[in-house]
Amino acid sequence: MRCRTCGAPAAINMRQHKLSLCAEHFQPWIIKQTARVIRKYRMFTREQRILVAVSGGKDSLALWDVLLKLGYRADGLYIDLGIGSMETAATPAPYSLRSREKAETFAKAHSGTVLHVVDVAATYGESVAEISHRKRRTDSPCSICGLIKRHEMNRVALEEDYDVLATGHNLDDEAAVLFGNVLHWQVGYLRRQGPVLVADGEGLARKVKPFCRFYERETAAYTLIAGIDYIYEECPFATGATSLAHKETLLKMEHETPGTKLHFYVNFLRAKEEGLITTNLDIPPELHQCPKCRQPTMSDAHCRFCRLWE
């Protein structure tokens, strides 16, 4: 297997593109393709400030690295959720500690960048592990984690005056979410899914996903070739998650027919552009301001985030 550009031994073979590239030419390809996605979906401009949500994993750190190489003004946000073991709330949080170290190490290696850190336990009094232990009969750890991250990402982006919030969701993530939403015909979620989530209400940050068309193995290859140190293990709370089952199903389909995930996602976006997915949900829901945290909510009382701590 040879690099199509120079004929050297290839570092990666992307069957869906019928393209093999060596390490030297794969990095520029990733950077160029990211720039194309940013332009295609009009995610942000050179003048805007970008906040990258980083987890210490390969996708988010690779995204931060690529945006910096493209010359964007990009800072990071790490949310320390206090995740360790699922067994007990009193267990130390080695997973969060290690992932936080990866994000901090990356920030220190790139002068001029800022890493905002939110320590959930220190700020609000409980970690995700402790909340999950307390609310294990009503809320899953993943739903609690997602709720906290969405709230804090939006809060920090607005308070620190960033123009856009960027996340490292890759094609495998997006295809798995789309697969689940189609299986259950979650029309509301289908309407909102896409590379750009506009700020369709006061107090909401604009959100973008520049890596939405990259396979997970491509972002992993980029971090390894670029020498980015990231946390390898999965979150301990992710065990048994439905999204992992969807990813496994799509992986089998991809193995049989290369390009399945990419075509599934891209054709979905094309169908939305052509108006094939339209509902009365196109009217944004009425939002209120939470009387406690001042963040937007569909409830006329305290938002779900604030109720989480009650």
| Residue tagged 């969060």 (tokens) | 96
- Quick check: 290 pLDDT over 50? yes
Q: What is the pLDDT of residue 240?
A: 67
Q: What percent of the chain has pLDDT over 90?
A: 68
Q: For residue 90, what pLDDT is reported?
A: 46
- For the chain, the average pLDDT equals 90
pTM confidence score: 0.91
Q: Say how many Å lie between the first and final Cα of the chain, rounded.
A: 58
pLDDT per position as a tens digit, 99-137: 999 999 999 999 999 999 999 999 999 988 888 888 876
- Each residue's pLDDT tens digit, 78-88: 999 988 744 44
pLDDT tens across 217-272, in order?
999 999 999 999 999 888 877 776 788 899 999 999 999 999 999 999 999 999 98
Q: What is the pLDDT of residue 283?
A: 58
Structure tokens at 292: 């406690």
Long-range CB contacts (within 8 A, 24+) of 223-227: 223/58, 223/61, 223/62, 223/65, 225/11, 225/23, 225/26, 225/27, 226/27, 226/62, 226/65
Amino acid at 281: L
Per-residue pLDDT of 142-190, as tens digits, reads: 889 999 999 999 999 999 999 999 999 999 999 999 999 999 988 888 8
**Tell me: the pLDDT tens digits for 48-62?**
999 999 999 999 999
Q: Which domains does the chain have, with CATH numbers?
A: 44-308 (3.40.50.620)
